[in-house]
Structures are given as C-alpha cells and as structure tokens.
Structure 1
Amino acid sequence: MKITVFGATGGVGREVVRQALAAGHDVTAVVRDPARLGVPAHDGLEVAVVPDLTDAQALVPLLVGRDAVISALGAGTNKQAKRSPVTGPAVRAILAAMDRAGVSRLAAVSAAPVGPDVPSDGVIARKVLLPILRRALRDLYADLAVMETAIGASSAEWTVIRPPRLLNKPRTGKYRRVIGANVPDARTISRADVADALLTTLTDPATKNQAVGIAS
C-alpha cells in the first residue's frame, strides 16, 4: 500500500512511519523539519517538506497515486496550537487535496474527550474529571472537533481514532476498541498502539465512516 502520512514527526506519526515501513508499505512522510523525523533512510520512504499544510494545491502531488492518507496531526505538531488552530485547517486542506488527487481513504487521530461520554464511567468521571480536562485543553479539543466535522462532511472514506492520554511505551497490538463510541474506563494507551490502530483501520471495512475509541 502507498500511504501519505501527515504529522510524521510527532510521537504518533513517527510510529506510523516506522510500522508502515516494517509492514512493507511505501510511505510519503510529510514534515516541516526533516531532521525531526528520526526514521532511518529506507527504500520505501519518501520525505516531503511542506511548510504550509493549509495549501491544498501544494499537497496534491503528495497524494496522487496513493492508496490512503493518515493524519497524525495534533497539538504537539505546533507550539502555537493553543493560540492558533492547526489541525482543523490543515485537515480541511488535506481533504480538498485528496479529492483533487482521487484518494478516498483517510484515517485520522483525534482524542477521546472529543467524543461522547461513556455512561458506565460513573458520575465523577463524567461530571467532574472530563469537564475539567475539557476546560483545561479547550482550544486543543475545539481544533480537533473542527477537524472531525470537516472529515464527517467530506466525501472521503474516513476513520477517526479517539485515544485517551498518550504514553511513550512499546507497541503491543493488544488494546480495546469500540466502533462508534469511546472505550469504557479509558485511561491511557501508547502512541505506538495508536499508530497500530491507524494502520489497521485502513483495511478494516467495519471502521469506514466511523469514529473508533481505543484504550489499553
């Protein structure tokens, strides 16, 4: 499979690139600073430097002939994310470029608090802890909500992955997954397992046009 990865220098994106190459895929890693990629040279790896991810026309050549797109964009890709939305505007441009390039499959990472509450999590989690978290990171989640709205309104065959707090731990390939809802009692998951989920979903028809909750 030929995959273009946005946000390739972030914690999740770097894992996507590594795992995709290990699985035999051809990867175009879209970056602002190639020195931050941290992935060894590989016959299946192309690194594309793009300073402005909101320029849809500039993204089209990176998508022509590809089978799928993965967006691992998030607040960590830009230190100014709290003051200037990053992910929503970028994904809107990616969707426009996908349409022009004739690419339909998209997997994107979001966050569990953007999704609906899980009734079984209890009153304290739903009425106290989550509201505090959503207020503290309201700009981040607002940006991701804009992204999800744009994806849902697009013609793409999309999947949105919603993880809880991310950890720098090894890939296990063993995590809980709920299609169409968040995972009950979700606390953490490794960035490597989020990457695994993004890649796995590309060939799973059950996840098309669905938000998928994941957690350890």
Structure 2
Amino acid sequence: MNVFLWIVQAVLAAMFAMAGVMKSTQPKEKLVGRLPWTADFSQATVRFIGIVEFAAALGLILPAVTGIAPVLTPLAATGLVVVMVLAAITHARRKEPGAIAFNAVLLILAANPLMRVTVFGATGGIGRLVVQQLLDDGHQVTALVRNPAKLSLTHSHLTVVTGQLSERDAVEQALSGADAVISALGPSLKRSATGTPVTDGTRTIVQVMEAQKVSRFIGLATPSLADPRDKPHWKHKVLPVMAQLMFPTALAELTGMTEAVTGSGLDYTIARITNPTNKPAAGRIRSGFLGHDKVGSAMSRADIAAFLASQLTDARYRRAMPAISN
C-alpha cells in the first residue's frame, strides 16, 4: 500500500507540474479551448495559478528525494488544497459537476502527503499506536527503541533502530533522512526514579534535528505546563501542585523536556494531555487552549495517536501547545 501511495504522490506531482507549465507559459486564447474556465480570469491570474501549481508540485517531491527542507512538503500540499478548493468553487459557479468531482479527488490526494517520520517512545502505550497510525496512513516510519521485542509491529515500511536516547549515534541514525519527528516520550512516574534521562534525551533529539535540518517536532506534555495563549484556568493551579506533591521528579522531567523543544528554533506542536485511557478510539477530538476552548480531560490513547499523526500536515498549532481531549 505504501508503494502505491508514493506512486500516486509522484503522479499527482507530475500532473500539477505539467498543468502548471501549461498555464504559466501558454497564451490565454490557446488555453480557453482546453480549459474553458480560464475565460473568466485575466492572463496574469491564470499564469499565477500555473506558477503556484508548478511550485507546489516540486514541493511534493523534491524534499522527499533530496532530504532538503522537508517542511516544504506539507506546505506544498496545503497550497494545492487551497487551489483545489478555489477551483471547485469556480466550477460550481460555472455548473461543471464533472470538474468538481475531479478537483475533489485531487484535493483528497493533495491533503495527504507522504513523509518519513521518526518516532521516539515507540514501545509505549501511545507510541505503538502512533507507529501503527503512521503506517496505516502510508508514511515511512523509523523507530528508536531500546528493546525491539517490545515493539510488536512488523511492516515493510517500518525501520527499527536499536539504541537509547543517551546514545547520540543511535539518535543520528534514527533521524537520518527524516521529514518530521513524533515523540511519545514521557517521564517515569516512579517516585524512586532519579536523574533526567528523558530531558537529556530530548535535548539530544533537538540538537540532532537542528544539525540534520529536520524542523518539524510533535510531542506530548500535560496542562501542568501553560501555553501563552491560555487564559487562567483551574488546571494551571491544581495540576502543578498535585504533580509536585506526587511526582516531583516527573514534573521536573516534563518541564525540562518541554523547554528543550520550545526554547529551540524547531517548528513544534506539543499536545497537552490530562487523562489518557485505553478505551477504543472515539474519533471525536477537542483541541485548543485552556480558558478559551472547551477541552476536557479524558482521551483514548488511540485518539491521542491520531491527533499526533494529523499534526504532520495541520498548521493550526505550529509553535504552540494545545490541550486535547475527547
């Protein structure tokens, strides 16, 4: 399935590239015969549309092929989605249902660009679901794990790197060629836990990402930590006190690993969760900022994994820490 989706993405890029060249180079009088809708627009507008389509087509393929600026892939996909939505509106106004259906197909394909994603914390309850979600979506996945036996998944597009966060070489290997990172790492809740292994490991991940020019980071935290967009909320007062009393080391780790990311130049989204459960996926996800949006506490791990995977192409929460729940 993954190979098929990559082929589809390549074909999609080729189609937009050829269409873009045609619209940006041929005179409007010649285009009207093949593309009647162009009669409704100026030559400059048609050429601009062509240039956007051609540039977006390059953005779908070149980052994956070269490993350079992988963040351009979701941006290119977003650009094509906008073009297809506007195209559908134009065809609807012209009463061209066949063209609308064609635009809808292209929109669906453009909205789901394939990426190479490195997952940390892949053997945890949420991490395993993240890996499965990414594979189901057609992405190439690399997972860094201490014990491969704990990752009960096998797939032709899953690469498992054995190592620890404290081993920089292993982190570098896991991140080689990646377009994005999803971290399901979390601190130990054992009161006997000592040291800051997750904080130190996250710092290593950030350093290697910056060195390898991988900019997109998606991770987890809790509402014990505030986002600047939050308004005063009881969770800001209660959760940090509870965490400090019951899990002081875990709170320190959570704070340290989060600051390692937010203090960097990475393009991050950190989802704050309160009460993960093992219930089946509900498919209903609330997200936003405390005091602004209606976000609850409980959320199935399957829905958390789905939200994290969706952030590969969702630009709403760039450099933000939304709270999420069912």
Under a length normalisation based on structure 1, what TM-score does the superposition of the two structures give? 0.86
Q: Which of residues 196, 214, 231 in structure 2 aligns to 1:85?
A: 196
Amino acid in structure 1 at the alignment position of 2:202: V
Q: Is 1:199 matched up with 2:313?
A: no
Contact persistence 2:183–2:218 (CA under 8 A): yes
Contact persistence 1:151–1:158 (CA under 8 A): yes
Residues 203/126 of structure 1: CA separation in 2 closer, same or farther (3 Å cut): closer
Q: Deviations over 1:57-100 (max 9, x none)?
A: 43112212111001111135x96883222321111000111112
Contact persistence 1:159–1:210 (CA under 8 A): yes
Contact persistence 2:161–2:173 (CA under 8 A): no
Q: Is 1:20 matched up with 2:134?
A: yes
Amino acid in structure 2 at the alignment position of 1:46: T
Q: Is 1:34 matched up with 2:148?
A: yes
Contact persistence 2:223–2:236 (CA under 8 A): no
Contact persistence 2:225–2:236 (CA under 8 A): no
Contact persistence 1:113–1:134 (CA under 8 A): no
1:44 aligned partner: 157
Q: Deviations over 1:94-126 (max 9, x none)?
A: 0111112221111011122223686454xxx66
Between Structure 1 and Structure 2, how many residues are aligned? 210
Hey, what's the Cα distance between the residues in 2 that align with 1:152 and 1:71? 14
Q: Deviations over 1:125-151 (max 9, x none)?
A: 665566234421221121111111111
RMSD: 2.5
Q: Deviations over 1:151-200 (max 9, x none)?
A: 11112111111000111122223121005878656321111111111111
Residues 104/88 of structure 1: CA separation in 2 closer, same or farther (3 Å cut): same
| Farther-moved stretch of structure 1 (179-188 vs 21-30) | 179-188
Contact persistence 2:286–2:324 (CA under 8 A): yes
2:206 aligned partner: 95
2:39 aligned partner: none
| Farther-moved stretch of structure 1 (167-176 vs 86-95) | 167-176
Structure 2, unmatched stretches of 5+, are 1-114
2:218 aligned partner: 107
Q: Is 1:145 matched up with 2:259?
A: no
Hey, what's the Cα distance between the residues in 1 that align with 2:132 and 2:211? 28
Q: Which of residues 174, 181, 193 in structure 1 aligns to 2:284?
A: 174
Residues 180/4 of structure 1: CA separation in 2 closer, same or farther (3 Å cut): farther
Hey, what's the Cα distance between the residues in 1 that align with 2:171 and 2:136? 25
Larger Rg, first or second structure (1 or 2)? 2
Residues 185/200 of structure 1: CA separation in 2 closer, same or farther (3 Å cut): closer
Q: Secondary structure at the match of 1:95?
A: helix
Residues 126/107 of structure 1: CA separation in 2 closer, same or farther (3 Å cut): closer
Residues 128/22 of structure 1: CA separation in 2 closer, same or farther (3 Å cut): closer
Residues 56/96 of structure 1: CA separation in 2 closer, same or farther (3 Å cut): farther
Looking at both structures, which has the greater relative contact order when contacts are Cα pairs under 8 Å and sequence separation is at least 6? 1
Contact persistence 2:273–2:324 (CA under 8 A): yes
Aligned-pair identity (%): 35
Hey, what's the Cα distance between the residues in 1 that align with 2:122 and 2:180? 15
Residues 81/93 of structure 1: CA separation in 2 closer, same or farther (3 Å cut): farther
